[in-house]
Amino acid sequence: MIRLFALASFVYQSAAAIVLIFVLSHILAPAEYTTFSLALASSQFLCVLMFEWLQLAGVRFLAAAHGEEAARLRSSLIAAALLSATLLIGAGSAASIAGPLPLQVVGLGLTLAVLQGFADLNLMMIRVSDRLAAAAALLTLRATLLLAAPVAGALMFGTTTATLAGGVLGQTATLVVGWLAYRPPLQKVTFHVLLSTWRHFARYGIPAAGASVIHLSVPVMMRFIVISGLAAAGPAATAGFSMAVDLLQRPFAVIIAAIHTISYPDVVAQFEHRTKQESRDAIGRFYDFILCTTIVMLGGLIGFLPDAGRLFIPADVLTSFLSYGAATAVFYFFHVHLQSTLAVIPHLTTSSVRLVVIAACQLALVSLFTTLAVARSLSPASVVTSATIATGVVTILGSGPAIRNRATPRWSVVAGATVAAMVIGASEMLPSESPVWLAAKIAIAAVAVALVAWHGNFLSATGGTDLQRRSRDKS
């Protein structure tokens, strides 16, 4: 039940993010929305750049630690986060002088990146301390605040600055509540021990985070290429594409984060403390969960994209949004699996150099394919499709560790999820302008999702949580 609540909290976060996009697209002018979208994407990129290495190192090493070792690791993580925040503010402030965005927008974006980094770090420490319910409750609170506060700022002032200020307020409130609700045991460490722990984090965390930054730069680069090509088409076309990128990226990113939060710490614990076969089985179940969920989600996005567009997208950007939507959804499906699913084994074995090589290959191939597509004057949807093909090629070439590990999903479950996704996606052809037909589509999708969830039994514990609890009890 706790795992179901945790999954529901992430689904709620995804829904809140989608609602935020829809609401802001109606409140803000197209030019203001485009500026907000670019500022938010840049802020998230900086957050990954400066804090992702701590997230990765924390999950990888804290999940298998207990007692005094865990307290020492937490203290080192918080100290490293303070250093990262200082560097981010200093470097970002200097770079903003020559940047195209207003200084107020830059300042708020930097503040948002720092607050999100600390809030994510706090959530991670709560989760790996076997407090999944508390982490889920805090995540639900943050999603609510990050929906209400930016919308309130946009309604009152109608500007990018006010909207970002609302996001800063929401992240601040989440961080305060999180630290009041859970104050993790810490341990005073000497400077020598601190440096030693940081080196341990950095050897794995920094290259792994560098790979995440490279992966994140791929859709950012694609976004700027397409928007630059759409400049002559006017703000409505660019806003439609920006909305498609924002809307269809978030569900995948959130569900991947949900599955990692629920299951990955248990996988780490089993990898460190159980037999090879037990670890292999845990990884295979993890693959089940992540593959089946995203496959069904892809079908749902394709099937309900026209309906969501008619209900929520402004009329002046609806045509451009629908023309890019399906291609963008398929791209993000392949992108998140290359970044997250294929990287599970290298993360467990701390083979961070391999992660960097895979990410660099994706960036190089996507750059090559999209450049050729633009040179041939292909449509923006075709440019996105070329990026999907490049990502698929890298996925095939980089699947060696997963194959050698012999951890495989249950292919019958994956096949069932694929059939369900095809059924849900095919419902796009139904005439859903009528509420009756739309209700029928929703009912078909709900039955298909329920059957996949029942067949897969994805939320059953793998045993890692019990192992973590016993380890803490012994300490």
pLDDT at 332: 93
Global pTM reads 0.78
Task: Tell me the angle at which helices 464-474 and 235-273 cross, rounded to the nearest 10 degrees.
Answer: 60
What does the block give as tokens for 165?
């200020």
Cα–Cα distance measured from residue 60 to residue 186, given in angstroms and rounded to the nearest whole number = 18
Tens of pLDDT, residues 5-29: 887 887 788 788 878 988 998 899 8
Cα–Cα distance measured from residue 31 to residue 29, given in angstroms and rounded to the nearest whole number = 6
**By the 8 A CB rule, do 150 and 166 touch?**
yes
| Beta-strand runs (E) in 121-177 | none
Q: Give just the sign of the alpha carbon dihedral 123, 124, 127, 128.
A: negative
**Nearby residues of 355 by Cβ (< 8 Å), 6 or more positions away:** 207, 208, 211, 343, 346, 347
**Nearby residues of 459 by Cβ (< 8 Å), 6 or more positions away:** 3, 4, 7, 262
pLDDT at 469: 47
Q: Which residue type sits at 387?
A: A
Task: Give the count of domains, the chain.
Answer: 1
**By the 8 A CB rule, do 182 and 126 touch?**
yes
The full DSSP string for 380-415 is HHHHHHHHHHHHHHHHHHT-HHHHHHT----HHHHH
Q: Which long-range contacts (CB under 8 A, 24 or more apart) does 470-474 make?
A: 471/66, 471/273, 472/66, 472/67, 472/130, 474/66
Low-confidence ranges of the chain (pLDDT < 50): 463-475
Estimate the share of the chain in helix, then strand, then coil, as percent rounded to the nearest 5. Answer: 85, 0, 15
Rounded to a whole number of angstroms, the CA Rg of the chain reads 22
**Nearby residues of 45 by Cβ (< 8 Å), 6 or more positions away:** 213, 216, 217, 220
State which residues form the domain around 337: 2-474
What does the block give as tokens for 314?
């402004």
Q: Which of 339, 340, 249 has its CA nearest to residue 298? A: 249
